[in-house]
Amino acid sequence: MQTLPPLANKALRFGPFLLYPDQRLLMKEGEPLNLGGKAMDILLALLQEPGALVSKGQLMARVWPTTVVDEISVRVHIAALRKALGDSHRSEGIIATLPQQGYRFVAKVRVEDSVSGAPRLPLPSLLWHTLGRDEALGTLKRLLLERRLLTLVGCGGIGKTTVALRVAEQLKGDFGDGIHFLDLATIDDHDAVAKVLAQGLGLAPGHGLAGYFEGRQLLLVLDNCEHLVGPCASLVERLLRLAPGLRVLATSREPLRAEGESVLHLGPLPYPVACDSPNASEAISYAAIELFLARAQARLPQFSLDDDNVAAVAAICRRLDGIPLAIELAAANVEALGLDGICAQLDDGMRLLSQGRRHALKRHQTLEATLDWSYGLLSDSEQRCFRLLAIFNGAFSLNQALELLNCGDACRATLLERVTQLVSKSLLEVDRSGPEQKYRLLDTTRSYALDKLKASDDVHHLCCLGHLRQTKAQ
């Protein structure tokens, strides 16, 4: 049994692995491993005393201190940990099982100083292939090598983070000093962006960010910037002026509006339009349908796409506007509801899309949560504008929108600003396919906005909605 010294600012090396306990980060030959939270907790518990027997009861007490779980949970997470480590059940591996007793960490462990070697803000690994984004990835790669600040903009659930991570992964060889990734989703303090970045980089208090980036060839990925666009813009402008070798890729639901910024809009995945009737072999070429099939088979391996069900799958993807998160959530219900059940639930509004990935950040778990987040970032007047535009079922002109909204004291210029803000914040789509530019809400977004409208106290415009329905009925 090994006895380890205090592990603050230390790293633990065993075989090809390097574990940074302070950062809860496991590396294999220089690359971060994607390890679940409970599996990491178990690894840290076993490493408190390498070689010592840790019973299942002790693991349950350490890993689930406030939750009642059974031994099956321990076995499931031990299996996940072993899979990540490439370990077997043999005693000469890394983790040994002692039947009816517990587990023992049997690999030789060496303690190292982590200050100089610990990777800072590493790029997370992706668990799935990226579908239907080859064109966007190619454009991103080209622009990032040509320009210094690029913001990837799109509505919630469209896949901005996935695309940003994938392109950063593909560009590793182009940045000699590496790539840093900072997720700002949980940062609420507008004054904390620079501080969080400095802490993530391991900089001592008083050590300037400019001094770190100056002279380095780096890519900095800032994810989920929409609630911090002002602070992010200020920080990025300052760093880019002081560090010529720095490039920045940001993801946001609206542009940063920073000096020198280029913006790339990420749209939905392609899906068959209503007038198309592709067979199964033709339909699989649409990325939205390919994604639905992949996620459905992850839950129900025997599910397949055939000529009998392809129309239903296409209708689901079309109803969900090709939004990857929405498609994933719908596909996860194939086993429980079947395709007809999913279609029926989608006709009933947002309810099907209100349960998502357990360990995702709350506002990224469901499509409804992502829309709640976007809606919450609007001003009161923008929220009202958003609700009222849900009255339009399909495309509408700017004049139609302004006529609907023009019932108060606001002047035309103010109303126009509210509409353009909804476009900028990825809640209102621009349709340039015809001779006149028009606007539309995605079906999923409109369904959400209608729920908000019905729950509002704007009686006059609810009357407008009733009048519109009466007119259509005639």
Beta bridge mates, 98 = 102
Across 85-89, 316-320, 365-369, the highest mean pLDDT is recorded for 316-320
Do 237 and 292 lie in one domain? The reply is no
pLDDT of 297 over the 80 cut? yes
Is there a domain that residue 128 lies in? no
**Confidence band, pLDDT 50/70/90 cuts, at residue 463:** low
**Confidence band, pLDDT 50/70/90 cuts, at residue 20:** confident
Per the structure, the complete domain to which residue 166 belongs is given by 134-265
Is there a domain that residue 194 lies in? yes
**Confidence band, pLDDT 50/70/90 cuts, at residue 119:** low
Q: Name, in order, each residue with C-beta under 8 angstroms of 385's C-beta and a sequence gap of 6 or more.
A: 405, 415, 418, 419, 422
End-of-domain residue from the set 367, 391, 423:
367
* Residue 48: per-residue pLDDT: 87
For residues 126 and 118, give the distance between their C-alpha atoms in angstroms, rounded to a whole number.
21
Are the beta carbons of 115 and 23 closer than 8 angstroms? no
Is there a domain that residue 127 lies in? no
Across 19-33, 199-213, 328-342, 344-358, the highest mean pLDDT is recorded for 328-342
End-of-domain residue from the set 367, 398, 429:
367
Lowest mean pLDDT among 73-87, 154-168, 191-205, 459-473: 459-473
**Confidence band, pLDDT 50/70/90 cuts, at residue 457:** confident
Are the beta carbons of 280 and 307 closer than 8 angstroms? yes
Closest to 47 measured CA to CA, from 84, 10, 99, 73? 10
For residues 333 and 389, give the distance between their C-alpha atoms in angstroms, rounded to a whole number.
30
Looking at per-residue confidence, does 70 or 203 come out higher? Answer: 70
Are the beta carbons of 268 and 167 closer than 8 angstroms? no
Do 232 and 183 lie in one domain? The reply is yes
Across 245-254, 394-403, 445-454, the highest mean pLDDT is recorded for 245-254
Are the beta carbons of 237 and 196 closer than 8 angstroms? no
Q: What is the pLDDT of residues 417-436, one digit of tens each?
A: 999 999 999 999 998 888 89
Provide the CATH number for the domain around residue 178: 3.40.50.300
pLDDT of 82 over the 60 cut? yes
pLDDT of 468 over the 80 cut? no
Provide the CATH number for the domain around residue 466: 1.10.10.10
* Residue 412: per-residue pLDDT: 84
Is there a domain that residue 372 lies in? no
**Confidence band, pLDDT 50/70/90 cuts, at residue 35:** confident
Do 178 and 230 lie in one domain? The reply is yes
For residues 56 and 161, give the distance between their C-alpha atoms in angstroms, rounded to a whole number.
37
Is there a domain that residue 319 lies in? yes
Across 56-70, 221-235, 332-346, 444-458, the highest mean pLDDT is recorded for 221-235
Mean pLDDT of 120-138: 89
Is there a domain that residue 272 lies in? no
Lowest mean pLDDT among 64-68, 82-86, 115-119, 407-411: 115-119
Do 259 and 167 lie in one domain? The reply is yes
Q: What is the pLDDT of residues 308-330, one digit of tens each?
A: 999 999 999 999 999 999 999 99
* Residue 3: per-residue pLDDT: 54
Lowest mean pLDDT among 58-62, 205-209, 304-308: 205-209
Mean pLDDT of 145-164: 96
Do 14 and 79 lie in one domain? The reply is yes
SS3 content of the chain, % helix, strand, coil (to 5): 45, 15, 40
End-of-domain residue from the set 334, 367, 400:
367
Do 147 and 253 lie in one domain? The reply is yes
Is there a domain that residue 197 lies in? yes
pLDDT of 359 over the 50 cut? no
The pTM is what? 0.72
At residue 265's C-alpha, the angle toward residues 255 and 236, to 5°, is: 35
Looking at per-residue confidence, does 87 or 375 come out higher? Answer: 375
For residues 181 and 221, give the distance between their C-alpha atoms in angstroms, rounded to a whole number.
5
Beta bridge mates, 32 = 27
Do 138 and 250 lie in one domain? The reply is yes
Q: Coil, helix or strand for 80?
A: helix
Q: Name, in order, each residue with C-beta under 8 angstroms of 465's C-beta and a sequence gap of 6 or more.
A: 391, 453
pLDDT of 355 over the 80 cut? no
Do 147 and 187 lie in one domain? The reply is yes
Retrieve residue 446's tokens.
């409109």
DSSP one-letter string for 387-420: HHHTT--S-EEHHHHHHHH-SSS--HHHHHHHHH
Q: Which amino acid is present at 188? A: D
* Residue 471: per-residue pLDDT: 45
* pLDDT over 70, % of the chain: 85
Do 171 and 290 lie in one domain? The reply is no
pLDDT of 53 over the 80 cut? yes
Alpha helices in 192-242 (DSSP H): 193-200, 209-213, 229-242
Do 158 and 222 lie in one domain? The reply is yes
* Residue 215: per-residue pLDDT: 86
* Residue 21: per-residue pLDDT: 81
At residue 317's C-alpha, the angle toward residues 311 and 320, to 5°, is: 140
Is there a domain that residue 123 lies in? no
Total count of domains within the chain: 4
For residues 257 and 191, give the distance between their C-alpha atoms in angstroms, rounded to a whole number.
18
Do 189 and 256 lie in one domain? The reply is yes
Retrieve residue 148's tokens.
């210094």
Lowest mean pLDDT among 18-32, 207-221, 270-284, 376-390: 18-32
In the numeric block, the tokens 């509409």 are attached to 419
Provide the mean pLDDT of the chain: 86
pLDDT of 301 over the 50 cut? yes
For residues 91 and 106, give the distance between their C-alpha atoms in angstroms, rounded to a whole number.
7
Closest to 184 measured CA to CA, from 247, 251, 122, 248? 251
Do 195 and 168 lie in one domain? The reply is yes
**Confidence band, pLDDT 50/70/90 cuts, at residue 474:** very low
Looking at per-residue confidence, does 365 or 180 come out higher? Answer: 180
